Structure 1
Amino acid sequence: MYPAIILVSFGVSWAIQDVIAPVLSAKVSSAYRSLSPKDRVDWNNRLLSSCASIVLGALALYGFLRDSGLKPDVVRYESPYMKVACAIVVGYAIADLIIIAVRYRHLATPLMILHHVITAATCIVCGLMSPLAHFYGNMQLLAELSNPLLHLRRLLTLSGWSYASPPHVMTSLAFMTTFFLVRVATIPICWYGWVYLLMPQPEYGRAEYATAWRIAIALGIVLHVLYLYWFYTICLMAKRSIESLRKEVKKK
């Protein structure tokens, strides 16, 4: 079932980028119709990412609410919600990496490529191939809920809204808050649970799990460092928006 979900996710992701997003955007947004080809590619890709993030974040949240097996001290448990989400992630990440490769000059950012590779690898190794620590994997998927606001901020810019405009400032502050809640504030919770709740379990020390643990810990560290770096840049951008708004208010 999961290979089929990967293929469907791949196909739908490509369709959103090249068919659905361009057609719908051209019909409903005059700003989109006036964009350069490069900015249209960026716009379409952000709609794709937003759709994927909403689906994945909703699945992760639903999993926490409905799946009683997702607990921080459970070593081995296969969550069907998380496995479906991981399959969607893999299909989307592969499609988006190919899209980035095809349109490298328009979309490529090294950190985003690194993020896609790490996320896909984590989902394959720790989500689909291994029934280990699915609570913590689901926490990573929940972090996707911050992405739509990131892309909305960029879409506002492409639509002609300045950094000082109230919609832009409000979106920047909402994004900063959401990013902190689902990506930064969860870091100490994740590592506390891993060290003090998961590792003491007798089953944790089984030899056949050693490689999976090493991979999961290494990828988790890299992702969390990226989150902290991104949060720093997000705070700087939010500060710039607020300062721009203050200058506009003083002029009036």
Structure 2
Amino acid sequence: MEARTVGIVCSSFVIFQVLFHFVSYWFSAKVSSGYICLSVEKKIEWNSRVVSTCHSLLVGIFGLYLFFFDEATIADPLWGDPTLVKVNVGVSAGYLISDLLLILTNWKVIGDKFFIIHHCSAIAAYYFVLQNGVAGYIANFRLLAELSSPFVNQRWFFEALKYPKFSKANVINGVLMTVVFFIVRILAIPPMYFYMYSVYGTEPYIRLGFPVQFAWITSCSALDVMNVMWMIKITRGCVKVLSLIRQEKARNSLQNGKLN
């Protein structure tokens, strides 16, 4: 792996560790008075989600730019020059390694076996992008899924701060979370596998080699199974809240009608 790539991954790891251990404590106390009142355990998860949001916005926004304007990988998704994509993937790899360390060292608070599977699957796939410079467009396409994370994290922040479940901010965020999650994680599934099918057996695909092919297929499959599971859970929660809001409105309308 190139020294420049290793440097990006290591720098990303250090920066996200600093964000978790130092910056988030200071920043969160400044912007939210409720943060000070949280338990130690809640503060650990809060800080991990602040870091997650920073990572998601960074790689998601840069990933959108690459998705539309990186001519090399657009022209050749498997073998196009991934120089810029490797920067984005390197930043994400550094974050995933950092987050894995935080999960393992704070397992009783934020431990989650699905996150371990998610992170390890992504890191395994990103290794080949960074090492061999292949499938840059595919890797960046997968990174766009991170655009949903800020809404997921914001939902947790509202819950930690005890915002009413039916508050306007909570409901709007919940609807946006459901819609964005569906677009970037579920709606993106068919094009991915259609492209995989379309190149299967071709010379560029064969040239990838079995390890890359295996990592591509298995990592995407593992991530997408979890994405579908999470989508079902999110959708059920959103539908339940919206149904309760409609019932409450209908009940209020009926009561107002009786009063009049």
**Alignment TM-score, normalising by the size of structure 1:** 0.93
In the alignment, the residues of structure 2 paired with residue 201 and residue 89 of structure 1 have an alpha-carbon distance, to the nearest angstrom, of 30
Secondary structure of the 1:19 match is helix
Is 1:202 the counterpart of 2:203 in the alignment? Answer: yes
In the alignment, the residues of structure 2 paired with residue 79 and residue 29 of structure 1 have an alpha-carbon distance, to the nearest angstrom, of 40
> Residues 97-246 of structure 1: matches in 2 within 5 Å?
97-125=100-128, 127-196=129-198, 198-199=199-200, 201-206=202-207, 209-246=209-246
Q: Deviations over 1:10-63 (max 9, x none)?
A: 111111111111111112211111111111111111110000011111121111
In the alignment, the residues of structure 1 paired with residue 105 and residue 96 of structure 2 have an alpha-carbon distance, to the nearest angstrom, of 14
Q: Deviations over 1:164-196 (max 9, x none)?
A: 222111111101100111110010011111212
Superposition RMSD in Å: 1.7
- CA drift of 1:200 comes to 5.5
* Off by >4 Å, runs of 4+ in structure 1: none
Aligned partner of 2:64 in structure 1 is: 61
Q: Which residues of structure 1 form unaligned runs of 5+?
A: none
Q: Deviations over 1:187-233 (max 9, x none)?
A: 0011111212x236423223x61221122111111111111111001
Aligned partner of 1:14 in structure 2 is: 17
- CA drift of 1:132 comes to 2.3
Bigger-Rg structure (1/2): 2
- CA drift of 1:85 comes to 1.2
Percent of aligned pairs with the same amino acid: 26
Question: Counterpart of 1:154 in structure 2: which amino acid?
Answer: W
CA contact (8 A) 1:166 1:245 kept: no
Question: Counterpart of 1:119 in structure 2: which amino acid?
Answer: A
Secondary structure of the 1:216 match is helix
Which piece of structure 1 moves more, 161-170 or 184-193? 161-170
- CA drift of 1:72 comes to 7.3
Q: How many residues align?
A: 249
- 2:51 corresponds, among 38, 48, 53, to 48
In the alignment, the residues of structure 2 paired with residue 33 and residue 251 of structure 1 have an alpha-carbon distance, to the nearest angstrom, of 38
- CA drift of 1:248 comes to 4.4
In the alignment, the residues of structure 2 paired with residue 100 and residue 239 of structure 1 have an alpha-carbon distance, to the nearest angstrom, of 31
CA contact (8 A) 2:118 2:222 kept: no
In the alignment, the residues of structure 2 paired with residue 135 and residue 46 of structure 1 have an alpha-carbon distance, to the nearest angstrom, of 27
- CA drift of 1:71 comes to 2.9
In the alignment, the residues of structure 1 paired with residue 74 and residue 202 of structure 2 have an alpha-carbon distance, to the nearest angstrom, of 13
Q: Which residues of structure 2 form unaligned runs of 5+?
A: 253-260
CA contact (8 A) 1:72 1:135 kept: no
Alpha-carbon distance change, 28 to 204 in structure 1, aligned in 2, over 3 angstroms: closer
In the alignment, the residues of structure 2 paired with residue 74 and residue 122 of structure 1 have an alpha-carbon distance, to the nearest angstrom, of 15
Secondary structure of the 2:164 match is coil
- CA drift of 1:123 comes to 0.8
In the alignment, the residues of structure 2 paired with residue 230 and residue 95 of structure 1 have an alpha-carbon distance, to the nearest angstrom, of 23
In the alignment, the residues of structure 1 paired with residue 42 and residue 248 of structure 2 have an alpha-carbon distance, to the nearest angstrom, of 27
CA contact (8 A) 2:45 2:109 kept: yes
CA contact (8 A) 2:55 2:95 kept: yes
Question: Counterpart of 2:204 in structure 1: which amino acid?
Answer: E
Secondary structure of the 1:164 match is coil
